[in-house]
Amino acid sequence: MSDLYQQIVLDRTRHPRHAGRPAHFDARGEGANKLCGDKVSIYLTREGMDLHHDAEGCAILTASADLMADAAAGKTPAQMRELAAAFTQAVTSGTPNPALGALNALTPVADFPSRIGCATLPWRALEEALQDV
Amino acid sequence: MSDLYQQIVLDRTRHPRHAGRPAHFDARGEGANKLCGDKVSIYLTREGMDLHHDAEGCAILTASADLMADAAAGKTPAQMRELAAAFTQAVTSGTPNPALGALNALTPVADFPSRIGCATLPWRALEEALQDV
Amino acid sequence: MSAILEKVNIEALREDFPILKEKVHGKDLVFLDSAASAQKPRAVIEAMTHVMTSQYANVHRGLHYMSERTSEAYEAVRDKVAGFINAAARDEIVFTRNATESINLVAYTWGRTALKPGDVVAVTEMEHHANLVPWQMLRDAHGTELRIIKITDSGEVDWHSLEDVFADGRVKLLAVTQMSNVLGTYTPVERLAKFAHAHGAKILIDGCQAIVHRKIDVRAVDADFFVFSGHKLYGPSGIGVLYAKADILDAMPPFMGGGDMIAHVSYQKSTWAKPPHRFEAGTPAIIETIGLGAAIDYVNAIGMEAIAAHEAALTGHALAVLPNIEGLRILGSAQDRGGVISFVMKDAHPHDIATLLDRQGIAVRAGHHCAEPLMGRLGVTSTARASFALYTTREEIGALAKGLERVRKMFA
Amino acid sequence: MSAILEKVNIEALREDFPILKEKVHGKDLVFLDSAASAQKPRAVIEAMTHVMTSQYANVHRGLHYMSERTSEAYEAVRDKVAGFINAAARDEIVFTRNATESINLVAYTWGRTALKPGDVVAVTEMEHHANLVPWQMLRDAHGTELRIIKITDSGEVDWHSLEDVFADGRVKLLAVTQMSNVLGTYTPVERLAKFAHAHGAKILIDGCQAIVHRKIDVRAVDADFFVFSGHKLYGPSGIGVLYAKADILDAMPPFMGGGDMIAHVSYQKSTWAKPPHRFEAGTPAIIETIGLGAAIDYVNAIGMEAIAAHEAALTGHALAVLPNIEGLRILGSAQDRGGVISFVMKDAHPHDIATLLDRQGIAVRAGHHCAEPLMGRLGVTSTARASFALYTTREEIGALAKGLERVRKMFA
Ligand SMILES: Cc1ncc(COP(=O)(O)O)c(C=O)c1O
Ligand SMILES: Cc1ncc(COP(=O)(O)O)c(C=O)c1O
């Protein structure tokens, strides 16, 4: 029906691997979408080894948060920011970027202008969290 | 060019016969047109023998006031009100009315909706003046 | 009306709406978002084109032919609107941009003069932001109080709550929708007006949704204020209506200052024109007003009763069909309801539903529908919403149901 | 540009305006009332028709194809307008109904927060009611003062009066037209902005007339606020623009409450969206905004410089020809003036002039032109006014002169 909802996206929505607020975290960022009331919180440890999210939203948002947690794990703040920029670029332009790995599953969202915000919301929350690190 | 500006209308505009505020009068009525700032005052004596007007306005207004002064002279208040109603009816419908005599020269104004108010303004001022008689 | 006749009529009417022939993502457009804004029949488009190609000039201020013709056409719509909602007089009809402006106009002018600090404005839990935020702003600027009347779980006005809210006699305005844009609920406006009046309050009716689907009679209802937008009634954007009783309008100060709303201007003091012009500052939406007139002629020619009957049949069909989809839940179950259906699906977010339906050519809305507080009451953050118009068909509801089945399977 | 080339171009451009082919009272239409509202080129009509026949839905709130396309088209006009007046950012462009609403918006929001009672708003003697009445209403509601800057007999801003008005340092806003809709005078807005800023005041420029005839650059002028209406710029009615500097807009509270202007709504408290959406409550004039975009494309394609050159030539011609008519007097003789010419005639009332010209197919305006106090300054109660547009020809000015001769003879 649409290559936006690829298997990996549906899978991460139904069974996210990094969901839930962890007992310990050093920084937290929030994102909210006024259009639909969707929300996401991103939890970071200072070492950046492990990311968690608490997503109340659509499949695109949840998959984006969960795949982000995979990709950003173990990265430095600078590297995470770079990743965020690369991701935003990819989902806005619709051009996959080899550096993004599984996250490229979300690039078709570029064809759905009003949904791009769903994909990038966790990343804006991440950037907010990074300000506290 | 237009049968609205008949000779009698142009004539009464250039040389009104009843213009100017009289030394003595018993009642006065005012009319003002917001569209253009035109104004007219009507002066009555209790006996109704003589009407005067002070018109600051277009040809239609001035001619209407002057011809009205001719037609209303010597009439009772009730007769003047009747005349006003007949005139308003004639200039709104465009149908001359034998009872109106020379005032029928103004009936073509019916074709100029935004000018009907110019023709009827002195008559509204007359009605106001009649309230004081 | 037999089912066959009805079918024929709808197909014929659909021909009047050029956009319905469009393809979306290669699929036939199934437009189920008319509650947000309706599509326009050719008669409306042509009326607007006609003004611009053959009889346009600014209104009211001109003495020449084009201006007189345009002014006549513009003012004729005032009569049309007055007739359409059965107002007592044409001067009770004020043209605005949209229903939102109509309500704000009332809040700024009547609200700041007729209401005193401490007076109460009451709204229900199912108001559109347009009928909530202006009263919040009035509260914060003017010291009035804002009270919320609860709705029942079925999505109807909770009469106990209504009585509670009115109990202390301080409510001076009941501002209530005639039809919820989320739940499809019709409110009993006649009863509500009686109730408000018996309690010394005026009633403002948000008729945005109701006017599209039902015959409106402001005098039978005894509405003090009634508002709607042209764009939902098959008319153009940029034109809305405020109806208010003549004595209320007469006492209201102007909203905006400028041309056309004055009687006389000097530097020291200006005096105001009589209603409705007092409230129509500057060059109005001339072309759009004339377009709205064409829209009213259009629905009148079909007949509001025929439209209502068609939509009632559709709504009944949809309410029978949609619940068969596993995991789908319709929000609201009012006795008296119209063709606006909000729903949620287990495991599928409304956004995803909307996007996936769109790929099949089916336009539904997803979000809070400008009724964020109502979402909280319903225990959701957003819903998907399908809404019907006079051009909606049974087949389109079938397409929706089929589309939703596909969505369900993806997320199952 | 040779006269012949110019002629050819204008004739070609006239083909773009279907209404110019109309007959009035059996005569060719000579439309000299564009300052009140301009005629619409086919490109504008077609853009509006296109939306309604093939890509219409409500904006901003939809996730489906039609809504996304319409939102894109709508928002693209914001960029276009920003480019057209050289704003620094698209978010500095707020869509309103008309210039009148733009000014009222500033008076209600900025006026009631940035201005304190006792602060002064200064306007000139030649403002349109739209740039006078809102400041009177602010004065009466909020306790600000309103001061009037005199004009010279030539119809220009009197610099001595300006300095007097600013002398005590209490003026916080200079609200001034960039081009008088009565006298045709262009005001020196760059100098006025410098002057206002040097005296600690902001400047609001009423660009209604100027934007039709000249290239506007709000940054070069350093305007704080700039307003105009679409319908005078060959666009549809129902759409206007407010430009304000980003930091000013940011600090302004909302004007009207409703959908689209909020960030978050709860019963207790709502928070506002960022500009420009904070100021665009409810369903906007979607079709009209897109029409305005087409109008801007249209004049851009011709070029504002070419339009200005054509109109300057016409105006020069009219100013040379009309005074030859016995008893005719042109009001205003500013050095820098454009194609709006007010006049009076000995013994002929402006109303009669307009009616008699209309019978010859010539549309001019007569009245106070929504500038009643200016009439007092000029010592008249009304004037007749001819105004030019990009489609006006030398021949039409000839027709006007001939028509006026006939009028003169009737009243001689
Ligand atoms: C100089 C000037 N300012 C303001 C306005 C008001 O414009 P609108 O009626 O479109 O709001 C006009 C036009 O009538 C004008 O000429
Ligand atoms: C019930 C209701 N009230 C008010 C509005 C606001 O209408 P508009 O945006 O046309 O002002 C809407 C539509 O969005 C609505 O459905």
Q: Which residues contact B103 (CB under 8 A, 6 or more apart)?
A: B64, B67, B68, B71, B87, B90
Work out the average pLDDT over C200-214: 98
Those residues of chain A whose CB sits closer than 8 Å to some CB in chain C are 1-2, 4-5, 10, 13-14, 35-39, 56-60, 112, 115, 118
> Would you call D271 an interface residue with chain C, using a CB distance cutoff of 8 Å?
no
Q: How confident is the model at residue B3 (pLDDT cuts 50, 70, 90)?
A: confident
Share of chain C above pLDDT 70, in %: 98
What order do you get walking across the sheet with C365-367 strand by strand?
C328-331, C340-345, C383-387, C365-367
Peptide bond into C276 cis (omega under 30): yes
CA nearest neighbour of C25 among D71, A114, A90, D64: D64
The distance of C135 to chain D (nearest Cα, Å) reads 8
Contact C283 D237 (CB under 8 A): yes
**Of C33, C178, C208, best ligand 2 pocket probe by most atoms within 8 Å of the beta carbon:** C208
Q: Which residues of C touch D239 (CB under 8 A)?
A: 238
Closest CA to B116 of B89, B82, B96: B89
DSSP letter, residue C188: -
pLDDT value for C253: 98
ipTM: 0.94
Residue D100 CA: nearest ligand 1 atom is 11
- Residues composing chain D: 412
Q: Do B112 and C263 touch (CB under 8 A)?
A: no
Instruction: Round to whole Å and give the CA distance between B125 and B68.
Output: 11
Residue C8 has pLDDT above 90, yes or no: no
In SS3 terms, chain D reads as CCHHHHHHHHHHHHCCCHHHHCEECCEECEECECCCCCCCCHHHHHHHHHHHHHCCCCCCCCCCHHHHHHHHHHHHHHHHHHHHHCCCCHHHEEEECCHHHHHHHHHHCHHHHCCCCCCEEEEECCCCHHHCHHHHHHHHHHCCEEEEECECCCCCECHHHHHHHHCCCCEEEEEEECECCCCCEECCHHHHHHHHHHCCCEEEEECCCHHHHCCCCHHHHCCCEEEEEHHHHCCCCCCEEEEECHHHHHHCCCCCCCCCCEEEECCCCEEECCCCHHHCCCCCCHHHHHHHHHHHHHHHHHCHHHHHHHHHHHHHHHHHHHHHCCCEEECCCCCCECCEEEEEECCECHHHHHHHHHCCCEECEEECCCCHHHHHHHCCCCEEEEECCCCCCHHHHHHHHHHHHHHHHHHC
Q: Which of B34, B113, B115 sits opposite C263 (nearest CB)?
A: B34
Q: Chain B contacts of C263, Cβ < 8 Å?
A: 34
- Contact by Cβ (8 Å): A90, A105: no
pLDDT in tens, C50-99: 999 999 999 986 789 999 999 999 999 999 999 999 999 999 999 999 99
Select the CATH number that applies to the domain covering C46-300 from these four: 3.40.640.10, 3.40.50.2020, 1.10.150.120, 3.40.50.620. Answer: 3.40.640.10
Q: What kind and span of H or E run contains C344? A: strand C340-345
Q: Nearest to residue D380, comparing CAs of B38, C54, C359?
A: B38
**Sign of the torsion angle spanned by Cα atoms C182, C183, C184, C190:** negative
Kindly report the nearest CA distance between residue A103 and chain D, in angstroms. 22
Give yes or no for a contact between C410 and A10, defined as CB atoms under 8 angstroms apart.
Answer: yes
Taking the CA of C338 as reference, the closest ligand is: 2
Structure tokens at C407: 């969505």
CATH value of D2-37+304-406 in 3.10.129.10, 3.90.1150.10, 2.60.120.10, 1.10.357.10? 3.90.1150.10
Question: From CA C291, how far away is CA C231, in angstroms rounded?
Answer: 10
Tokens of D163: 């300095």
**Matching residue, tokens 């301009």:** D38
Confidence of residue C5 (pLDDT cuts 50, 70, 90): very low
Query: In the complex, which subunits touch B with 3 or more CB pairs below 8 angstroms?
Result: C, D
Chains B and A touch (3+ CB pairs under 8 A): no
CA of D387 to the centre of ligand 1 (A): 14
pLDDT confidence band for C4 (50 / 70 / 90): very low
Contact D368 B37 (CB under 8 A): yes
Residue C6: predicted pLDDT: 54
Min Cα separation D373/chain B (Å): 11
Q: Is the pLDDT of residue C373 over 70?
A: yes
CATH 3.90.1150.10 location in chain D: 2-37+304-406
**Mutate: best of D60, D64, D68, partner A, most A CBs <10 A:** D68
Nearest ligand 1 atom, CA D206? 3
Does ligand 2 lie within 6 Å of residue C103's CB atom?
no
Chains C and A share 3 or more Cβ pairs within 8 Å: yes
H or E element at residue A10: helix A7-14
Nearest CA in chain D to B10: D411
Mutation test residue for ligand 1: of D182, D228, D229, the one with most atoms within 8 Å of CB: D229
Distances (CA, A) of C208 to B103, C103, C211, D228, D339: 51, 11, 6, 29, 44
Decide: C181 in ligand 2 pocket, CB within 6 A. yes
Please state at what angle helix D133-142 crosses helix D99-108, rounded to 10 degrees: 20
Ligand 2: does its nearest atom lie under 6 Å from the Cβ of C104?
A: no
Task: Kindly report the nearest CA distance between residue B84 and chain C, in angstroms.
Answer: 24
The pLDDT averaged over each successive group of 10 residues in chain A (133 residues) is 84 94 93 82 86 94 96 93 96 95 96 91 95 83
- For ligand 1, atom 16: residue with the closest CA: D181
DSSP-assigned letters across all residues of C224-252 = SEEEEEGGGGTS-SS-EEEEE-HHHHHHP
Contact D51, D286 (CB under 8 A): yes
Name every protein residue with a CB atom under 6 angstroms from any ligand 1 atom. Answer: C 259, 282-283; D 98-100, 128, 130-131, 177, 181, 206, 208-209, 229, 370
Beta bridge mates, D203: D174
Chain-wide mean pLDDT for chain C?
96
The answer to whether the CB of D24 falls within 8 A of the CB of D361 is yes
- Of B44, B46, B40, which is closest to residue B16 (Cα–Cα)? B40
- Chain C, chain D: beta-carbon pairs less than 8 Å apart: 327
Contact call for residues A120 and A65 (beta carbons, < 8 A): no
Per the annotation, the verdict on C208 as an active-site residue is no
- Alpha carbons D275 and D290: distance in angstroms, whole number: 20
Ligand 1 pocket: which of D105, D129, D181, D182 to mutate (most atoms <8 Å of CB)?
Answer: D181
Report the b/e string of C29-48 with b at 16+ CB within 10 A.
bbbbbbbbbbbbbbbbbebb
Q: Is C169 left (phi over 0), alpha (psi -120 to 50) or beta?
A: left
User: Under an 8 Å CB criterion, which residues of A touch D?
Assistant: 32, 34-35, 112-115
Identify the bridge partners of residue D328 per DSSP, sorted by sequence position.
D345
Region(s) of chain D under CATH 3.40.640.10: 46-300
Q: Verify C-B touch: 3 or more CB pairs within 8 A.
A: yes
Q: Are the CB atoms for D291 and D239 separated by under 8 Å?
A: yes
Contacts of B30 (CB under 8 A, 6+ apart): B39, B40, B41, B42, B125, B128
- B48-52, C36-40, C329-333, range with the lowest pLDDT: B48-52
Q: Whose CA is nearest to atom 7 of ligand 2?
A: C99
Alpha-carbon distance of A107 to A120, in angstroms, equals 11
Q: Evaluate whether C59 touches C76 at the Cβ level (below 8 Å).
A: no
Q: What strands, in cross-sheet order, belong to the sheet with C225-229? A: C93-96, C240-244, C225-229, C202-206, C171-177, C120-124, C145-149
Token reading at D132? 């006078």
Residues of C in contact with B113 (CB under 8 A): 68, 72
Distance C71 CA to ligand 1 centre (A): 17
* D351–B115 CB contact, under 8 Å: yes
Question: How does pLDDT run along chain D (412 residues), one tens digit per residue?
Answer: 444 445 558 999 999 999 999 999 999 999 999 999 999 999 999 999 999 999 999 998 678 999 999 999 999 999 999 999 999 999 999 999 999 999 999 999 999 999 999 999 999 999 999 999 999 999 999 999 999 999 999 999 999 999 999 999 999 999 999 999 999 999 999 999 999 999 999 999 999 999 999 999 999 999 999 999 999 999 999 999 999 999 999 999 999 999 989 988 999 989 999 999 999 999 999 999 999 999 999 999 999 999 999 999 999 999 999 999 999 999 999 999 999 999 999 989 999 999 999 999 999 999 999 999 999 999 999 999 999 999 999 999 999 999 999 999 999 8
Cis bond before residue D253 (omega within 30° of 0): no
Of C29, C56, C366, the CB nearest to D63: C366
Measured CA to CA, the distance from residue A23 to residue D208 in angstroms comes to: 61
Which residues 327-386 on chain D approach chain C with CB closer than 8 angstroms?
Answer: 351, 354-355, 357-358, 362-367, 369-370, 372-373, 376
DSSP label of C169: S
CB C322 within 8 A of CB C341: yes
Check if the beta carbon of residue D96 is closer than 8 Å to that of residue D309. no
pLDDT digits (tens, 9 = 90+) for B6-50: 999 999 999 999 999 999 999 999 998 876 778 999 999 887 778
In this complex, the residue of D36, D63, D376 whose CB is nearest that of residue C58 is D36
- CB proximity C50 to D under 8 Å: no
Out of C100, C183, C383, C388, give the residue to mutate to test ligand 2, the one with the largest number of ligand atoms within 8 Å of its CB. C100
Instruction: Look at strands D145-149 and D270-272 and give their pairing.
Output: unpaired
- D35 CA: nearest ligand 1 atom: 16
pTM of this structure: 0.95
How far, in Å, CA of C66 to CA of D352, rounded?
A: 17
Q: Which residue, chain included where needed, has tokens 């001339």? A: C286
Domains of chain A: 2-130 (3.90.1010.10)
Burial classification of residue D267, based on how many CB atoms lie within 10 Å of its CB (0-12 exposed, 13-18 middle, 19 or more buried)? middle
C96 lines ligand 2 (CB under 6 A): no
Ligand 2 nearest atom to the CA of residue D260, by list position: 9
- State whether A36 and C350 contact (CB < 8 Å): yes
Q: Is D282 in the pocket of ligand 2 (CB under 6 A)?
A: yes
Task: Name the minimum distance, in Å, from the CA of A27 to any CA of chain C.
Answer: 26
Cα gap D20→C412, rounded to integer Å: 63
pLDDT on residue D4:
42
What tokens does C346 get?
């287990």
Rounded Cα–Cα distance for residues C245 and C87 (Å): 8
Give me B115's structure tokens: 């000018």
pLDDT of amino acid A133: 77
- Rounded to a whole number of angstroms, the distance from the CA of C410 to the nearest CA of chain A is 8
Q: What does the pLDDT read at residue C60?
A: 80
Q: Collect all residues with Cβ–Cβ distance below 8 Å to C319 and sequence separation of at least 6.
A: C330, C341
Ligand nearest to the CA of D236: 1
Strands of D145-149's sheet, edge to edge?
Answer: D93-96, D240-244, D225-229, D202-206, D171-177, D120-124, D145-149
